[in-house]
Amino acid sequence: MTIRTVVDVLQESRSPEAGDEDSNGLATAQSILSAAEISLPTGDLADGVYDSFGNYYQLPQWVISDPTNLVVSNERHGIAETSADGDDERRREDAENASIITDTQRWQYEKGKGALKARDEITLRARLSETGRDFDVTVSKSDSVGSVTRKLAKETLLSPEKKIRLAYMGKMLAENQSLGAQGWQIGHVVNALVFNR
């Protein structure tokens, strides 16, 4: 119901009768989202949002699409571009620097000394059975469920005599396989069941 209210407020602010109240409508919608503890676990609006109870809401296309009524300008911060040659040179240098950074990062990652690439990382939302509270853990897409449960145990500060097992769609997940290999989809909440060892 909260998401519906936000969408209604945003639609109202888009209507021609709204006049200058566009910014007020946006501020109102943002305050409703904040008060309702609406979360965006994937960081992508196209994947939908979750309320504080874990209910999933798919957003309408007009909310997540790029605006079509913008004017493209050749000026940056009020200063006109001087020449095409200078821009080409700058772009070429930026591309060279980017490839150097990419090669270095790739080498470090292959040697096990680099951080995970952002596209390999995902945020997993797990609901702890002991408290009913949701925890977000950043993991790799290829991490085994066992690795994920260890990270989750650290995040939740469980006592050592407790063990976590993950369940998804009513099925206990195998510890030696990745989440994706067992049917889990990005943005879905998993159940973190807490057991005594």
Burial class for 126, CB neighbours closer than 10 Å (0-12, 13-18, 19+): buried
pLDDT in tens, the chain (197 residues): 566 776 676 666 555 554 554 556 667 766 777 777 777 666 677 778 787 777 888 878 777 777 777 676 655 444 444 444 455 555 555 544 444 444 454 445 445 555 545 557 888 899 988 888 899 988 888 888 998 999 998 888 888 888 999 998 888 999 999 998 999 888 899 999 888 88
DSSP tag of 183: T
Residues 54/128, Cβ–Cβ less than 8 Å: no
Query: Which uninterrupted H or E stretch holds 86?
Result: helix 84-110
User: How many of the other CB atoms lie within 10 Å of CB of 61?
Assistant: 8
Residues 124/137, Cβ–Cβ less than 8 Å: yes
Cα–Cα distance measured from residue 190 to residue 164, given in angstroms and rounded to the nearest whole number: 12
Whole-prediction pTM? 0.42
